[in-house]
Amino acid sequence: MTEQLGPTEWGTSVGVGPWDGPWPAGEHWDPELLEHGDRRNVVDHYRYWRRDAIVADLDMRRHEFHVAIENFQHDHNIGTVVRTANAFAAAAVHIVGRRRWNRRGAMVTDRYQHVHHQPTPADLRAFATERGLAVVAVDNSPGAQPVERTALPRRCVLLFGQEGPGLSDASRAEADLVVSIAQFGSTRSVNAGVAAGIVMHGWIREHADPDAAW
Ligand SMILES: C[S@@+](CC[C@H](N)C(=O)[O-])C[C@H]1O[C@@H](n2cnc3c(N)ncnc32)[C@H](O)[C@@H]1O
């Protein structure tokens, strides 16, 4: 029996070849991809679609949570955070601090994700206040509430710190809520990209509609 492939391209070969048969009609199809094949890391629903058409379609599916990560020391986890934010259809990702970030781990998912730069924690706070978003800081600092026992606001920004220093005092002070992830081993913390995945998925479990997933 042939194994059924999942909704992404992770099969024996990546992507699909040239379109077989008469080309479909519609503005969202990309003639280049129809002609040469589509090897991008996109779910099957978007095969052969133009990139701007994919972004426009995602814009109608995005969730109400935003993700922010501090970047005062060029954190190498940002790419992973962007990729996970894309997978869970976050409204946007905010890079707080330095504008430049290491795109490697994003695996080009940033092309389909709105990514904003916020120079300081105060700028992120102002953005959130203007849009009625709660700022939920995620850090293993004293006084944080266990995320396992805390309801995450539907409209929020999930804010993460960097490897090493963790979340800045300024970000913690600007937050409406600080939550921590329960740990049981010897290490002080998990990787920031992993922490972001755990908490984003917490939001998904609480607020997203699993029937709307691919
Ligand atoms: C590697 S941690 C920083 C750890 C910190 N310097 C320490 O040793 O206590 C980087 C970021 O990952 C996230 N993080 C890692 N482990 C966490 C946990 N158990 N609870 C909440 N956030 C965590 C937070 O956003 C944190 O700022």
Q: Mind listing the pLDDT tens digit for each residue in 9-29?
A: 444 467 899 999 999 999 999
> Is pLDDT above 50 for 7?
no
| DSSP H stretches of helix in 64-114 | 78-87
For ligand 1, is residue 167 a contact (CB within 6 Å)?
yes
Confidence of residue 5 (pLDDT cuts 50, 70, 90): very low
* Percent of the residues in the chain that have a pLDDT greater than 90, as a whole number: 81
The per-residue pLDDT for 170 is 96
Same domain, 52 and 83: no
Range of 54's domain?
19-60
Same domain, 56 and 69: no
The per-residue pLDDT for 2 is 41
For ligand 1, is residue 140 a contact (CB within 6 Å)?
yes
- 104 within domain boundaries: yes
> Is pLDDT above 50 for 87?
yes
Rounded to the nearest whole angstrom, what is the distance from the C-alpha of residue 165 to the centroid of ligand 1? 9
For ligand 1, is residue 180 a contact (CB within 6 Å)?
yes
For ligand 1, is residue 183 a contact (CB within 6 Å)?
yes
Q: Choose the final residue of a domain: 60, 78, 110.
A: 60
Rounded to the nearest whole angstrom, what is the distance from the C-alpha of residue 57 to the centroid of ligand 1? 34
Same domain, 139 and 90: yes
Q: How far apart are CA 65 and CA 56, in angstroms?
A: 18
- 189 within domain boundaries: yes
For ligand 1, is residue 181 a contact (CB within 6 Å)?
yes
Q: Is the pTM of this model over 0.85?
A: yes
Render pLDDT for 171-201 as a digit per residue (tens, 0 to 9): 999 999 999 999 999 999 999 999 999 999 9
Strand pairing class (156-160; 65-71)? parallel
Rounded to the nearest whole angstrom, what is the distance from the C-alpha of residue 170 to the centroid of ligand 1? 16
For ligand 1, is residue 195 a contact (CB within 6 Å)?
yes
Q: Are 191 and 69 in contact (CB under 8 A)?
A: no
> Is pLDDT above 60 for 80?
yes
For ligand 1, is residue 32 a contact (CB within 6 Å)?
no
**Residue 95: in which H helix or E strand, if any?**
strand 93-97
Render pLDDT for 137-169 as a digit per residue (tens, 0 to 9): 999 999 999 999 999 999 999 999 998 889 999
- 12 within domain boundaries: no
- 29 within domain boundaries: yes
Q: How many domains does one find in the chain? A: 2
Rounded to the nearest whole angstrom, what is the distance from the C-alpha of residue 166 to the centroid of ligand 1? 5
Which atom of ligand 1 has the smallest separation from the CA of 137?
25
Same domain, 49 and 96: no
CATH code, 130: 3.40.1280.10
Same domain, 49 and 116: no
- 4 within domain boundaries: no
Q: How far apart are CA 78 and CA 145, in angstroms?
A: 24
Same domain, 103 and 155: yes
Q: How far apart are CA 120 and CA 173, in angstroms?
A: 13
The per-residue pLDDT for 106 is 84
Q: In what order do the strands lie in the sheet with 115-118?
A: 115-118, 93-97, 65-71, 156-160, 134-138, 177-180, 145-146
| Phi/psi of residue 39, nearest 5 degrees | -105, 15
Same domain, 122 and 166: yes
The per-residue pLDDT for 9 is 43
Same domain, 35 and 104: no
Q: What is the mean pLDDT of residues 201-214?
A: 97
The per-residue pLDDT for 13 is 60
Same domain, 87 and 129: yes
Rounded to the nearest whole angstrom, what is the distance from the C-alpha of residue 112 to the centroid of ligand 1? 27
> Is pLDDT above 80 for 1?
no
Q: How much is the mean pLDDT over the chain?
A: 92
Same domain, 115 and 100: yes
Mutate to test the pocket of ligand 1, among 81, 189, 191, 198 (most ligand atoms within 8 A of CB): 189
Render pLDDT for 42-76 as a digit per residue (tens, 0 to 9): 999 999 999 999 999 999 999 999 999 999 887 78
